[in-house]
Structure 1
Amino acid sequence: MPTTRSSKRQSIVPNGLSEEEVDSSDSEDEITDFTGVLPPAPPDDELAPIDYFYSMFDKDSIALLTDQSNLYSVQMNPNKPLCISQHEMEHFIGTLIMTGIYSFPTPRFFWMNTTRVESIASVMSRDRFLQIRKNLHVVDNSNQLFAGDPAFDRAYKVRPLLNIVKENFRKIPKEEKLSADEQIIPFKGRSIMKQHMPLKPNRWGYKMFVLAGGESGICYDFIFYSGKGEKSEYGFCTKIVLALCETVPHDINHKLYCDNFYTTIALQVELFKLGIFTVGTVRSNRLAGLVMKTKTELSREAEALLKSTPLPPTVKPGRPSLKLSLVENNASTSPRAALSPLPSKSVRTSSSSSSPSIFTVYNRSGS
């Protein structure tokens, strides 16, 4: 019996149709079933909110900021050291988080009589807050390499802190369905690393490549983008996804979903070797040597399947007007999703159609 599921996502299926149910074979389920085991969630009363915060931003991060900020203050003015403790650094970080809730033009408003915020002003004085912020550092600037050095890192001044937080995210047990995508950290100041992505909610800022849960949205790994760096035999996009998947357990049938920026045949093949199944939209110029039916044929037949190739992935064209295709290495060509038409004010019909299950799989868990 087919199972019925509903989806509110924008679907990559023929225009005017919505997803209803998927009928998949038992043989495919046996091959692609997730064999990993996730630990049970801790009881609600076991961890406080601060414990979750410290699991990502741990004591090592606090110690790093404390030591390097004290060092920088001595380098700038030996007669007036900062002398900040780890406990005071924790107060400073908490104050920074609180200030992000408000939209005052300058931090001084938090301590003014007319706009005073007691939860901030009572923890730390204005002058002390500004003094710590002025000296806040993550690394010793005297060790920074010049731009011409092969090991030069544009993100040198924050790299140690990024590495600590990154390792903490990597420790989180990963769910079955994963998604690779980019995210913008909003920033409108001056920086050579600032990116512009017009389709993102925050168009300007620092770009992060993120491996997240396809259903939970939890971040499991990230890469801070500071430039393309050295060329890879697979290309930049494939290199990024392979790096994000370094800590994904092999051969337990994880499912990875990504959009057409990342998907390549080379990526599909490499992840297939690792036992990681993937589904993603793919650009037509990345399907060299694979001949698809013309737009006229697609319109007449509603879909077109590519002939078998020696490569593991299976490629199926998507909606003709999008000039986009889906490529995967885990869904078979035989299972099909039964589709029913969307309700219309002018036309009421009970007719139905079908589509390869790859479309439904991607729409439910894709990026």
Structure 2
Amino acid sequence: MDVLFIDDKGQKRELEEDDILTILEMPSGSEDDISSDDSIAAPTVNIDTIVNNIEEYCPTDSESDNCNNETSHVSTVPAPDSLPHMPNLNDKSESSRKKLRRDHVTWKLRSFDFPVVKKIFKRNLHLPDEVYALETPFQFFKYMFTYGLLNHIAEQTILYSVEKDPTKPYNTNSKDLSKLIGIFILSSVMSSRNTRLFWNPAVGLSVKCDTMSVNEFEKLRQFLHFNDNSKEIPHDQPNCDKLHKICPVIESLKEQLSTIPLEENLAVDEQMCATKSRHHLKQYMPDKPHKWGYKIFMLCGISGFTYDFEIYTGQENLPAHRLQDEPDLGASSNVVVRLTRSILKHVGHTSYFDNYYTSLHLMTFLASQGILFLGTVRRNRIPDCTN
């Protein structure tokens, strides 16, 4: 079959060998017959020039200076003052591809100059004399579980036994409670399916038998109580306290922890208190070593000592639990706001936390309180952040 083509005069004729050579000698370029001149040096792109010409990000002179500072670590190939013409990315011709290869930006890594903050810690970290006198683990435990707390528990235990059976009140004291706590600690070391087996002469421990009989142990554990039930608000009421049963224990522990001066560097994070009990406050966190338990938010120092804590109940963000001068920054950031109440203002403390708590509003609040901070941040918590 003959190959025909239309010449310049619009006439159809057979394609000759000279016509084919003429077509092959045409300059290489795009299908639109647009030739490229390789002798002309292609312009290069300068990032500083682009940033200065984008008024959307730098509408004012001061903001333009800030943008220049942010991009000062970028080094580019020398470029003309005017913004160069960028080639069409959709153009797949050979000349356009060559032009794209020449139009490039060279990025170089340079150290970022952080502003120097002169930090002076002004607080005295001298421990109380009674803390210096502590030597054994038992003494440290008694420092936290005071005799006042044990006497309060003994009173509430007697009161609860009277509520159960007024004719047969159960009498106890702080000494019996100390024995009970010791048996609980020893039971955590030696596990058993049945508690009464600890008093079995064959498999039990003689120290438990000498401390307390099994019947006395069961009786004291039956009436053990920490707070007055008559003062408890029903759970269907909006202002109920889910931690009412152990509220005196929590308050006493916080009071003793507050006697220790806070370190310079502090951290806020959560911790799981593992348990196998069935309770509505039990949480599940798959990334923790103990996945099931009670979630506790803690304020700790670099030494690992806990200065304050908060048991998660879901009621912390209610307006009744917020001070008048405290803003509502969200459930996670409010944890940091509450735990930093005990930190003295404008003395040089630094708080650290992860991206679960960090937000721009939290940083603004801590800065107004004179507390330094450092934390990772999630991208979706930064307004107008798309990259």
Under a length normalisation based on structure 1, what TM-score does the superposition of the two structures give?
0.68
Q: Which residue identity is paired with 1:69?
A: T
Corresponding residue to 1:243 among 328, 334, 338:
338
Following superposition, the deviation at residue 126 of structure 1 comes to 0.8
Structure 1 residue corresponding to 2:300, chosen from 206, 212, 231: 212
Seen in structure 2, the aligned counterparts of structure 1 residues 24 and 159 have a Cα distance that, compared at 3 Å, is farther
1:130 to 207, 218, 222: 218
Contact 2:379 2:385 in 1 (8 A): no
**Residue pair 2:127, 2:260 contacting (<8 A) in 1 also:** no
Find the aligned partners of 2:332 and 2:134 in 1 and give their Cα distance: 40
Report how far residue 33 of structure 1 moved. 3.0
Q: CA deviation at 1:286?
A: 0.6
What secondary structure is seen at the aligned counterpart in 1 of 2:217?
helix
Please give the per-residue CA displacement for 1:69-101, whole angstroms capped at 9, x wherever unaligned: 111111111222210011111111121111111
One-letter amino acid matched to 2:236: G
Matched residue type, 1:172 = I
The question of 1:66 aligning with 2:66 is answered no
Measure how far apart 1:221 and its partner are. 0.1
2:373 is aligned, of 272, 278, 285, to 278
Shift in CA distance, 127/220, structure 1 to aligned 2, threshold 3 Å? same
Letter of the 1:37 partner, please give it: N
> What residue identity is the alignment partner of 2:218?
L
Q: 1:39 aligns with which of 126, 132, 141?
A: 126
Change (3 A) 1:169 1:24: farther
Instruction: Give 3-state SS (helix, strand or coil) of 2:280's partner.
Output: coil
Counterpart secondary structure, 1:252: coil
Letter in 2 for 1:217: G
Match of 1:195 in 2: 283
Residue 180 of structure 2 is aligned to residue 85 of structure 1: no
- Counting strand residues as a fraction of each chain, which structure ranks higher? 1
CA–CA distance in structure 2, aligned partners of residues 251 and 95 of structure 1: 46
Q: 1:262 aligns with which of 357, 381, 385?
A: 357
One-letter amino acid of the counterpart of residue 146, structure 2? D
Percent of paired sites with the same residue: 32
Q: Which runs of structure 1 show a deviation greater than 6 angstroms over 4 or more consecutive aligned residues?
A: 22-25, 41-45
Look up the match of 1:355. none
Asked which structure has the greater CA Rg, the reply is: 2
Taking the aligned partners of 2:382 and 2:167, their CA distance within structure 1 comes to 65
Equivalent-residue separation in structure 2 for 1:206 and 1:106 (angstroms): 24
Change (3 A) 1:40 1:59: closer
**Other structure's SS at 1:245 match:** helix
How do 1:95-174 residues align onto structure 2 when only pairs under 5 Å count? 95-174=183-262
**Superposed displacement of residue 180, structure 1:** 0.3
After TM superposition, give the deviation of residue 34 of structure 1 in Å. Answer: 2.1
Deviation by residue 1:238-294 (Cα, 9 ceiling, x = unmatched) = 211111011111111111111111111111111111111111111111101346xx4
Rounded to whole Å, the distance in 2 between the matches of 1:186 and 1:46 is 29
Residues 317-351 of structure 1: per-residue CA shift (max 9 Å, x gap)? xxxxxxxxxxxxxxxxxxxxxxxxxxxxxxxxxxx
Instruction: String of CA shifts for 1:78-131, please: whole Å, max 9, x gaps.
Output: 222210011111111121111111111222121001112122221111111111
Does residue 234 of the first structure (1) align with residue 329 of the second (2)? yes
Separation in 2 of the partners of 1:136 and 1:83? 11
Check conservation: 2:269, 2:298, Cα contact below 8 A: yes
Contact residue 329 and residue 361 of structure 2 kept, 8 A: yes
Distance in 1 (alpha carbons) for counterparts of 2:136 and 2:128 = 14
User: 2:258·2:308 contact (CA, 8 Å) conserved in 1?
Assistant: yes
Gaps of 5+ in 1: 1-21, 295-367
- Aligned mates of 2:208, 2:260 — CA distance in 1: 32
Separation in structure 2 between the aligned mates of residue 169 and residue 24 of structure 1, nearest angstrom: 40
Correspondence for 2:141 among 53, 58, 69: 53
Q: Quick one: which amino acid aligns to residue 121 of structure 2?
A: F
CA pair 45-172 structure 1, distance change in 2 beyond 3 A: closer
Q: Would the aligned equivalents of 2:127 and 2:261 in 1 still touch at CA under 8 Å?
A: no
Unaligned runs of 5+ in 2: 1-110, 320-326
Q: CA RMSD in A?
A: 2.3
The corresponding residue for 1:302 is none
Instruction: Show the counterpart of 1:362.
Output: none
Task: Classify the secondary structure of the residue corresponding to 2:376.
Answer: strand
Q: After TM superposition, give the deviation of residue 174 of structure 1 in Å.
A: 0.8
Matched with 2:273 is 185
Give 1 or 2: higher helix fraction. 2
Aligned: 1:94 with 2:189: no
Which residue in 1 is equivalent to 2:18? none
Q: Does the alignment pair 1:76 with 2:76?
A: no
Task: Tell me what 2:311 maps to.
Answer: 224
Partner deviation per Cα, 1:154-209 (whole Å, 9 max, x = no partner): 11111121111122112211111111001111112211111001111111111111
